[in-house]
Amino acid sequence: MSPTAAYVTLLTKSNYLPGVLVLHHSFVSVGARHPLVVMVTPTVGQDVKDLLTRRGMVVRTVNHLGPKEGAHTLSPHDARFGDTWTKLRAFELTEYDRVVLVDADMLVMRNMDELLELELPTDFIAAVHVCACNPFKLPHYPDDWVPANCAHTPMVHPIALTSPPKITDTSPRPYFLLNSGTVVLNPSEQLFDSIENFLFTTDISGFKFPDQDLLSAHFEGRWRPLPWCYNALKTLRYIHKPMWRDEEVRCLHYILAEKPWQVRPGAGGDYEELNQWWRKEWEQLRAEMQTTDEAGWALVSANAVH
């Protein structure tokens, strides 16, 4: 186990507070041996930061990170990604030798502390491939995002758990792209400086997914593919059934716009069962906090649909 290691997530606004608290609760539930560090921007109130600390998280205030004015524009559909460049500040957390960066809309289903021991060459990262199937046929997604070019399409159980997709010179372009929901990294001031320089000096106007596309480009040839289970996109359960097994999920990722805390129970459609997994953890959190921190629970609950 790395001598100083941590899981890290980002919080920029209180409407993701339910996600962060359930994420932390799920880490505790599976017996994670390292803390969850929450990077918060100055937009986050002191009451929220105090609550995170009371719940046992480590709070680190960071400044917003983003491209120069006019260098990048998001589609209205993906406006929620505007703050995600700031995730890259995880590379600045040099008090830790190893960091596993996770999104706030995730649920840990099984212990994954092994990622903190993963062998990683200097200045490499590790992540799971994107799913390039574009099942909703969103017109602003890249034209080559089709099932035939998706790295997950050839994957089957159980090989997919031990042999993630390989990237070769002849692989379709989407094989070179990672999903930044889970990223294993070794913080370094020099590495962050190079990332920041890349952000400010490279043409990023064509990036569809801010930090994700930047990481894919900056670490091309220097990222290690992880098995799907460490960043189990909720859509994979239906799109890539030959690969998916519920019991193998380490970290479930509630991608797309509607998060479990923003959907009324019973209104989750195809994702209702997966939302109920999140709600189960939420109810355990509620039972704890209503007896130990009523004011804190009121703050969390105000940001969720009931």
For position 66, which CATH number holds?
3.90.550.10
**Does residue 161 fall inside a structural domain?**
yes
When pLDDT is cut at 50, 70 and 90, the band that residue 193 belongs to is very high
| pLDDT tens digits, one per residue of 260-272 | 999 999 999 999 9
* Average predicted confidence (pLDDT) for the chain: 94
Residue 75 scores a pLDDT above 80: no
Residue 46 lies in a domain: yes
Cβ 284 vs Cβ 266: under 8 Å? no
Is residue 209 in a domain? yes
Model's pTM, two decimal places? 0.95
Average pLDDT for residues 71-100, to the nearest whole number?
78
Question: Is pLDDT of 185 > 60?
Answer: yes
Could you tell me if residue 80 is inside a domain? yes
The pLDDT, as a whole number, for residue 257 is 86
- Total domains present in the chain: 1
Domain-located, residue 294: yes
- Whether residue 155 is contained in a domain is answered as yes
Instruction: Give the mean model confidence (pLDDT) for residues 9-19.
Output: 97
Gap between the Cα atoms of 282 and 289, Å rounded: 10
pLDDT score at 83? 80
Q: Which two tokens stand for residue 15?
A: 């409407």
**pLDDT band at residue 78, thresholds of 50, 70 and 90?**
very low
Report angle CA 226, 20, 184 to the nearest 5 degrees. 25
Q: What is the mean pLDDT of residues 211-218?
A: 95
Tokens 């990048």 appear where?
Answer: 72
Sign (positive or negative) of CA dihedral 215, 222, 252, 48: negative
Q: How confident is the model at residue 124 (pLDDT cuts 50, 70, 90)?
A: very high
- Write down the pLDDT at residue 81: 53
Q: What is the arithmetic mean of pLDDT over 16-36?
A: 98
Residues 42-50 have a mean pLDDT of 97
Q: How far apart are CA 110 and CA 98, in angstroms?
A: 19
Question: 234 is in which domain, residue-wise?
Answer: 5-301
User: What is the signed CA dihedral for 211, 215, 218, 224, rounded to 10 degrees?
Assistant: 180
pLDDT surpasses 80 at 273? yes
pLDDT in tens, 275-299: 999 999 999 999 999 999 999 999 9
What is the band of 1 on the pLDDT scale with cuts at 50, 70, 90?
very low
In percent, the amount of the chain with pLDDT more than 70 equals: 94
Residue 306 lies in a domain: no
